Amino acid sequence: HVVLGIESSCDDTAVAIISSDRKVLASRIYSDKIVQRRLGGISPKMSATVGRIVIDRLVDECLDESNIRPSDLDAIAVTTKPGLLLSLKVGVDKALSMARRYYLDAIPIHHMRAHAIAPRLLDPTIEYPFLCLLISGGHSIIALVKGPDDFYILGETQKKSPGECLDRIAREMGLPLKTHFAAALEELALKSSPEGYLRFHKLPHRMGSDFNFNNIMIHYFNIIHKSNLLSDDLPDLCASAQFTVTAHLCKALSLVFEYVEKEKIFLTTKKTLIVSGGVAANKYIRGCITKVSEYYGFNTCFPPPKLCTDNAEMIAWLGLELLETNSQCVIRAKDIPMNASMPPLRIEDRWPI
């Protein structure tokens, strides 16, 4: 099978074509960071407008590069949730128009589920069921993944995500935006001294099994606004924020490991924890999570950073897995109405999480 995947849930627009033998035949991503830098953040309307301008070109380039005619594709997989509605609509509209025109199956993809299965694209030895920790700009989720359409959520964020927390602390400190604010924070934290960064710790109350990054964010906002920080203090502050976010993640994770053990939840003998989402690009966080997992006898698997942040490979890959397992999620070409007035996001309803 050959599947074309479209991702446009947030500020990036991406397209990829993947075949059953795990080959990425083509992949394109357009990141709208220039506009964001000028506006100081994501503008949903602007992201969608930019997405609409670039999507046709990205699809054409992928088809050209992989030397595939649209009618030779087996299906179009597209992110239908969660995300910014206007941006999602860009991808869904394109997917539906291609599916109608070339009589292709359409596969609605849950963006977070795609993050979770992304490592299977590179590593066929990762088998279901496995645990996954998804840490990104909008979410933190710990889930038991039993199959490409069988997810069981064990823990979820209550307020704010680790990515948003680190991004906003970094932005409040005035750090530059290259790829993500949080990446600048990680870089600056490397310059911190072990004694120095302890100055800023005062773990916020109510750190428990829930993911709540709001308290952490407010704690650091207060330090930034109320102390007379010198530029020399910034590396220590970055390291401290990174530490606190990590400690919170590791605590929740260890509770889940204990639960899985106590309830004798079935996993493969090679017990695997997949850690994915943009925050998993952080080396410090990777290191700490690996240690906690090792302690509980789990193997940790991190996709390479390019597959951790938003991309279309993961969308195409989950589409392919769903297609090959004959999942109910696949909408067959014959079931896609030709009626142009069909609400484009209706396919989302097929997949309540």
Residues at the site binding ligand ATP, with contacts judged by CB under 6 A: 9-10, 83, 111, 115, 136-139, 163-164, 166-167, 180-183, 186, 277-279, 281-282, 309-310
Residue 139 partner contact from ligand ATP, Fe ion, none using kind-dependent CB cut-offs of 5 to 8 Å: ligand ATP
Minimum CB–partner distance for residue 11 and ligand ATP (Å): 7
CA distances from 104 to 37, 39, 99 (A): 38, 39, 4
Give the nearer residue to ligand ATP in terms of CB position, either 108 or 138: 138
Residue 348 binding target from Fe ion, ligand ATP, none, CB below 5 to 8 Å by type: none
The least distance separating ligand ATP from the CB of residue 95, rounded to whole angstroms, comes to 18
Q: Which one of Fe ion, ligand ATP, none is in contact with 113 (Cβ closer than 5 to 8 A by kind)?
A: none
> What is the rounded distance in angstroms from the CA atom of residue 289 to the CA atom of residue 112?
19
Beta carbons within 8 Å of 150's beta carbon, 6+ residues apart? 128
CB of 215 vs ligand ATP, minimal distance in Å: 18
Distance in Å, CB of 82 to Fe ion, minimum? 9
Helical (H) or strand (E) element with 323: helix 313-324
Q: Nearest distance from residue 353's CB to ligand ATP, in Å?
A: 13
Q: φ and ψ at 189, to 5 degrees?
A: -60, -25
Which is nearer to ligand ATP, 153 or 342 (by Cβ)?
Answer: 153
Integer Cα distance of 121 and 313 in angstroms: 8
Minimum CB–partner distance for residue 314 and Fe ion (Å): 9
Residues that bind Fe ion (CB under 5 A): 136, 310
Residues 6+ apart with CB under 8 A from 106: 75, 76, 77, 78, 95, 96, 99, 330, 331, 333, 336, 347
Q: With respect to ligand ATP, which residue has the nearer C-beta, 10 or 329?
A: 10
The entry of Fe ion, ligand ATP, none near residue 282 (CB within 5 to 8 angstroms by kind) is ligand ATP
The residue (of 73 and 184) whose beta carbon lies closer to ligand ATP is: 184
Q: Which is nearer to ligand ATP, 296 or 351 (CB)?
A: 351
Comparing C-alpha atoms, which of 171, 168, 170 is closest to residue 160? Answer: 168
For 7, the token pair is 């991702």
Residue nearest to Fe ion (CB): 310
Residue 311 interaction partner, one of Fe ion, ligand ATP, none, beta carbon < 5-8 Å per kind:
none
Give the residue among 305, 314, 301 at the shortest CA–CA distance from 274: 301
Upper half-sphere CA count for residue 346 (Cβ side, 13 Å): 11
Nearer to ligand ATP, 66 or 242 (CB): 242
CB-CB contact of 281 with 178 (8 Å): no
Query: Which of ligand ATP, Fe ion, none lies near 315, with the C-beta cut-off 5 to 8 A by kind?
Result: none
Which residue, judged by CB position, is nearest to ligand ATP in the bound state? 278
Q: Which is nearer to ligand ATP, 173 or 281 (CB)?
A: 281
Q: Which of Fe ion, ligand ATP, none does residue 160 bind (CB under 5 to 8 Å by kind)?
A: none
Q: CB under 5 to 8 A by kind: which of Fe ion, ligand ATP, none does 32 bind?
A: none
CB atoms within 10 A of CB 348: 18
Q: Which two tokens stand for residue 339?
A: 């009626």
Count Cα atoms within 13 angstroms, Cβ side, for 49: 7
Q: Please, which residue, 74 or 310, has the CB nearer to ligand ATP?
A: 310
What are the phi and psi torsion angles at 75 (to 5°)? -165, 160
Residue 137 Cβ vs ligand ATP, minimum distance, rounded to whole Å = 3
CB–CB of 284/189 below 8 Å? yes
